[in-house]
């Protein structure tokens, strides 16, 4: 069953009923000001950091679901009617005659009709601004005049979302606002150490306003039946403590057929410390600095311009990789939604979604480094900045903070470091960046360790230390020590926690000198080979590198990779698949010897991606084992058999009921590793089959089972051991976005950047006869037409009419803006 449909032309998903199985959401904002918005206008906004700088309140895990948002109420002032409703359905849930929500690239538009009054609200954040626009268009479709009241409503957050939700003895006394010329300014704590405030403005003359929640709602009422909306009269309340809100009241008379636009803007503004107040000795906000921006965006033509600029911006971004294949689900995900989701994960990491509260996690080190793999071609300059920010949270040991806070860009001490895979991902991010851009200068950027001034070293040195970090931490079998956990945050082999509430991620009750990870070993081989490739190029360029440390050679890395490979074959290979780990007792995990957890997906993917066994049939064996033991129609589960009870020596993985999350759920992030591996082995049908199983668009028809949004990936789909097999959870913020993008665009469609140019090596389904890729790369547009002539994967390339050797399109001469490539698959 579907709850909507794709509008590919407009790059939108159209939701046809407000009662989706879960709130189906979208994101607003591109750089600093962000918001989450559901299909019924639920959600909240923040500036840069969902924990430390939250603008509006939202209560997670609420009943009814998804209460709190960007609300508008309409009231029919005709004394015979006096009915009121929410044009976005929530929070009044009044049945509507018509409802439609369109989630698009950086905007959401909700249209509805009740009793002949049509309303459409378009929500978006203009590029480069710290504000959001709600553009409401009302149309009177009756043949009578209509007299309406419009009420807006948001609830302000007192900035620190954690404190806001817990510290009531203080919070009930600090709320402050100013209301001047119809603009509501939220200024809690502005009088002391904050130099920022929020504002909520409206384009119309007000009939009233409210800033005190109780006066608007009534003490014992909810957002579904505000007292003020019922009576049709605002209280003009000024909050002193308690719960500051913002509500405008506008009265509108519409002739039959008449239409009217009303604009609301909600924004964030900072003043310089010495210019906070006006007059300077007062406690009144200096508004001179913000008024120009407010008046600009209250004008309908400016709003239209800003919306058009956002549309063009996204067209340009998506245009960087476009494909036409025989499969509409592939086309739609590659051309629109998967690329879009990689941008969202780049912006949010794992901080704020409808499953991540925005309080618990900042920017993850391994998360953001992997997100970059799918994002880098969209806006390379921002990828560059992110790489340098991440590297600055590395420690001198080469290890890294597991997370950092986006507002401060400082490593998070609560979580700390010791996740031994973390630093290796940085190598993959940097090499992907250089292959995309050819910007070798990034390797010479001076970056501190732990953000400490004076500790700066060239980025290349950071990468060396990333590799050395693993080499310095090898266990009894010569495999890398796992530390707190590797990619699988829940495989906590040194934790041994028997105390409820202890964090699996930060509790370490064993020394950590024994438990080893085959996964990190595979990742190490992959990263070391990448370093070798990078160094080989640098050596070839013969450029003098001016560093205060000595550069290791490509030879060094190849040797280390080879040594690790042989260790994996010796201790990490189980005969039919790669093993997973050795625990604190040096017992194997992920082996035929185990009763539960015999085979895990992660080492199969990472080792084959690193090239192990590709030549000698063992990689194919591992893939056959994946197909036999782990694959389901809904995707590939993380491991089998699921852990049926809690194992002290394994940690959080066995804390989940079988079939959920890391305990044998379909942890989607890992599925593309198998797709890439199958592609590496030349199995195009298999690779694309796995791709389709978790492709959200291909699952649209089973939305009642899948339940999450059909336009973006979720972190997990319940596995075959779960009662709800096929049900997705934790949508949006997952490494699945970037990795699926890499798998489909670079390995299945096969167009991937290298240091020397674009490589074209498709491994596609045998039934595909033709397809076309357009890819912008280093300022050149490549139009690539691919035709299948034989049943293999061998390609022959003709570049601008001339056939070339190999499958890498040489970098074109300067000033050439477009290159045409004909590819035959033989």
What's the closest the beta carbon of residue 615 comes to ligand NOJ, in angstroms? 29
The residues in 322-351 that bind ligand NOJ, with binding defined as CB under 6 A, are 350
76 binds ligand NOJ (CB under 6 A): no
Contact with ligand NOJ (CB under 6 A): which of 596, 662, 709, 727? Answer: 662
Q: How far is the CB of 625 from ligand NOJ (least distance, A)?
A: 21
Considering the complex, what minimum distance in angstroms separates the CB of residue 756 from ligand BGC? Answer: 37
**Helix/strand/coil (H/E/C) assignment for every residue in 45-74:** EEECCCCCCEEECCCCCCCCCCCCECEEEE
Residue from 487, 573, 690, 755 in contact with ligand NOJ (CB under 6 A): 487
Q: Tokens at residue 635, please?
A: 């995707």
| CA atoms of 535 and 199, how far apart (whole Å) | 52
If binding is defined by CB under 6 A, does position 489 make contact with ligand NOJ? Answer: yes
- Told to check if 359 binds ligand BGC by CB under 6 A, we report no
- 602 interacts with, out of ligand BGC, ligand NOJ, none, CB within 5 to 8 A per kind: none
Buried b (16+ CB within 10 A) or exposed e, 22-44: bbbbbbbbbebbbbbbbbbbbbb
- Of residues 253, 224, 211, the one with CA closest to residue 84: 224
Collapsing DSSP to helix, strand or coil, 4 comes out as strand
* From the list ligand BGC, ligand NOJ, none, partner contacted by residue 356 (C-beta under 5 to 8 A by kind): none
CA distance 76 to 85: 9
Residues 6+ apart with CB under 8 A from 245: 153, 154, 155, 156, 210, 211, 212, 213, 216, 239
487 binds, among ligand BGC, ligand NOJ, none (CB under 5 to 8 A by kind): ligand NOJ
From the list ligand NOJ, ligand BGC, none, which binds 505 (C-beta under 5 to 8 Å, kind-based)?
ligand BGC
560 contact, one of ligand NOJ, ligand BGC, none, CB 5-8 Å limit per kind: none
Site for ligand NOJ in 390-419 (CB under 6 A): none
Choosing from 662, 678, 700, 727, the residue that interacts with ligand BGC (CB under 6 A) is 662
> Choosing among ligand NOJ, ligand BGC, none, which partner's interface includes residue 22 (Cβ < 5 to 8 Å by kind)?
none
Quick check: 85 and 74 in contact, CB under 8 A?
yes
Q: Which of 463, 466, 572, 559 is nearest to 516 (CA)?
A: 572
Contact criterion met (CB below 8 Å) for 743 and 679? yes
Taking CA atoms, 287 is separated from 196, 199, 440, in Å, by 11, 10, 45
Q: Which stretch binds ligand NOJ (CB under 6 A): 35-43, 318-326, 363-371, 590-598?
A: 363-371
* Between 488 and 640, CB nearer to ligand NOJ: 488
Closest CB to ligand NOJ: residue number: 489
Give the span between the Cα atoms of 46 and 57, in whole angstroms.
10
User: Structure tokens of 549?
Assistant: 């440390």
Q: What is the DSSP letter of 333?
A: I
Which listed option, ligand BGC, ligand NOJ, none, makes contact with residue 736 (CB within 5 to 8 Å by class)? none
**C-beta closer to ligand BGC: residue 662 or 709:** 662
Nearer to ligand BGC, 107 or 419 (CB): 419
State the DSSP code for 642: P
Place of tokens 């019924």: 40
> Which of 105, 610 has the CB closer to ligand NOJ?
610
Q: Tell me if 357 sits within 8 A of 736, measured CB to CB.
A: no
Site size for ligand NOJ, by CB under 6 A? Answer: 9
Catalytic residue numbers, as ranges:
489
Contact with ligand NOJ (CB under 6 A) among 86, 345, 353, 488:
488
The nearer residue to ligand NOJ, 12 or 422, going by C-beta atoms, is 422
Residues 461-520 that bind ligand BGC (CB under 6 A): 489-490, 505
Min dist CB 317 to ligand NOJ, Å, is: 24
On the CB side of 111, how many CA atoms lie within 13 Å of its CA?
10
| Cα–Cα dist 262/250, whole Å | 9
- Among positions 232, 364, 398, 765, the unique one binding ligand NOJ when judged by CB under 6 A: 364
Q: Which helix (H) or strand (E) holds 556?
A: helix 554-567
- Name the residue among 42, 70, 73 with its Cα closest to residue 231: 73
* Dihedral angle computed from the Cα positions of residues 419, 424, 429 and 431, in that order, rounded to the nearest 10 degrees: 170
Residues that bind ligand BGC (CB under 6 A): 489-490, 505, 652, 661-662
Residues that bind ligand NOJ (CB under 6 A): 350, 364, 366-367, 487-490, 662
């Amino acid at each position: 069953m579907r709850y909507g449909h794709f509008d590919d032309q407009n790059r939108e998903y159209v939701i046809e009923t407000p009662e989706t199985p879960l709130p189906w959401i979208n994101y607003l904002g591109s750089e600093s000001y962000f918001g989450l918005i559901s299909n019924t206008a639920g959600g909240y906004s923040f500036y840069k950091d969902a924990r430390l700088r939250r603008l509006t309140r939202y209560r997670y895990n609420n009943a009814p679901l998804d209460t709190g948002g960007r609300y508008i109420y309409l009231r029919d002032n005709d004394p015979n009617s006096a009915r009121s409703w929410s044009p976005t359905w929530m929070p009044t849930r009044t049945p509507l005659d018509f409802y439609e929500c369109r989630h698009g690239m950086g905007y959401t538009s909700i249209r509805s009709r009740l009793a002949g009054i049509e309303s459409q609200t378009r929500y978006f954040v203009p590029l480069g601004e710290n504000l959001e626009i709600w553009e409401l268009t009302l149309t009177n479709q009756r043949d009578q005049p209509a007299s309406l009241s419009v009420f807006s409503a948001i609830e302000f957050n007192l900035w620190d979302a954690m404190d806001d939700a817990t510290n009531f003895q203080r919070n009930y006394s600090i709320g402050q606002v100013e209301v001047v010329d119809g603009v509501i300014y939220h200024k809690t704590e502005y009088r002391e150490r904050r130099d920022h405030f929020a504002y909520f403005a409206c384009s119309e003359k007000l009939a009233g306003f409210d800033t005190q929640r109780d006066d608007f709602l009534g003490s014992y009422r909810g957002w579904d039946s505000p007292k003020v909306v019922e009576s049709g009269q605002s209280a003009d309340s000024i909050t002193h403590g308690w719960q500051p809100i913002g509500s405008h009241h506008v009265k509108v008379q519409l002739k039959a057929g008449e239409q009217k636009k009303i604009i609301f803007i909600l924004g964030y503004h900072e003043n310089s410390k010495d210019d906070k107040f006006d007059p300077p000795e007062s406690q009144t906000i200096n508004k001179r600095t913000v008024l120009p921006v407010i008046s600009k965006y209250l004008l309908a033509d400016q709003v239209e311009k800003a919306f058009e600029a956002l549309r063009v911006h996204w067209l340009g971004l998506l245009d960087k990789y476009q494909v036409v294949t025989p499969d509409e689900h592939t086309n739609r995900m590659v051309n629109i939604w998967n690329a879009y989701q990689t941008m969202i994960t780049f912006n949010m990491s794992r901080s704020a979604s409808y499953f991540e509260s925005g309080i618990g996690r900042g920017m993850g080190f391994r998360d953001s480094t992997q997100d970059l793999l799918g994002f880098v071609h969209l806006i390379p300059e921002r990828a560059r900045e992110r790489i340098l920010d991440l590297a600055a949270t590395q420690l001198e040991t080469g290890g890294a903070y597991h997370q950092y806070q986006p507002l401060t860009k400082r490593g998070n001490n609560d979580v700390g470091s010791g996740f031994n895979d973390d630093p290796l991902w940085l190598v993959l991010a940097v090499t992907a960046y250089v292959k995309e851009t050819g910007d070798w200068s990034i390797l010479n950027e001076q970056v501190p360790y732990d953000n400490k001034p004076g500790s700066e070293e060239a980025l290349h040195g950071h990468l060396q230390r990333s590799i050395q970090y693993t080499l310095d931490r090898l266990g009894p079998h010569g495999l890398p020590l796992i530390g707190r956990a590797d990619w699988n945050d829940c495989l906590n082999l040194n934790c041994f926690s028997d105390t409820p509430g202890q964090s699996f991620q930060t509790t370490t009750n064993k020394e950590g000198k024994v438990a080893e990870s085959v996964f990190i070993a595979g990742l190490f081989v992959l990263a070391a080979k990448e370093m070798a490739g990078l160094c080989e190029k640098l050596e070839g360029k013969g450029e003098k590198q001016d560093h205060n440390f000595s550069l290791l050679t490509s030879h060094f890395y190849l040797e280390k990779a080879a040594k690790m490979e042989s260790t994996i074959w010796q201790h990490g290979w189980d005969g039919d698949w790669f093993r997973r780990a050795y625990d604190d007792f040096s017992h194997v995990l992920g082996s035929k010897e185990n009763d539960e957890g015999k085979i895990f997906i992660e080492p199969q993917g990472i080792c084959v991606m690193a090239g192990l066994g590709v030549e000698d049939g063992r990689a194919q064996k591992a893939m056959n084992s994946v197909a036999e033991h782990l694959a389901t129609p809904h995707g590939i589960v993380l491991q089998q058999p699921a852990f049926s009870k809690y194992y002290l020596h394994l940690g959080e993985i066995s804390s989940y009921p079988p079939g959920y999350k890391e305990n044998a759920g379909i942890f989607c992030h890992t599925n593309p590793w198998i797709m890439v591996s199958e592609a590496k082995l030349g199995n195009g049908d298999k690779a694309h089959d796995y791709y389709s199983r978790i492709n959200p668009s291909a699952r649209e028809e089973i939305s009642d089972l899948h339940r999450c949004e059909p336009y973006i990936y979720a972190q997990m789909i319940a596995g075959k051991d779960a009662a709800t097999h096929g049900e997705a959870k934790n949508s949006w913020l997952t490494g699945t976005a970037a990795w699926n993008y890499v798998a489909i665009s670079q390995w299945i469609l096969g167009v991937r950047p290298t240091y020397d140019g674009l490589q074209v090596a498709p491994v596609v389904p045998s039934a595909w006869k033709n397809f076309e890729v357009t890819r912008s790369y280093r300022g050149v547009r490549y139009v690539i037409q691919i035709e299948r002539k034989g049943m293999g994967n061998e390609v022959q390339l003709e570049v601008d009419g001339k056939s070339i050797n190999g499958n890498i399109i040489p970098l074109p001469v300067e000033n050439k803006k477009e290159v045409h490539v004909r590819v035959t698959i033989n």
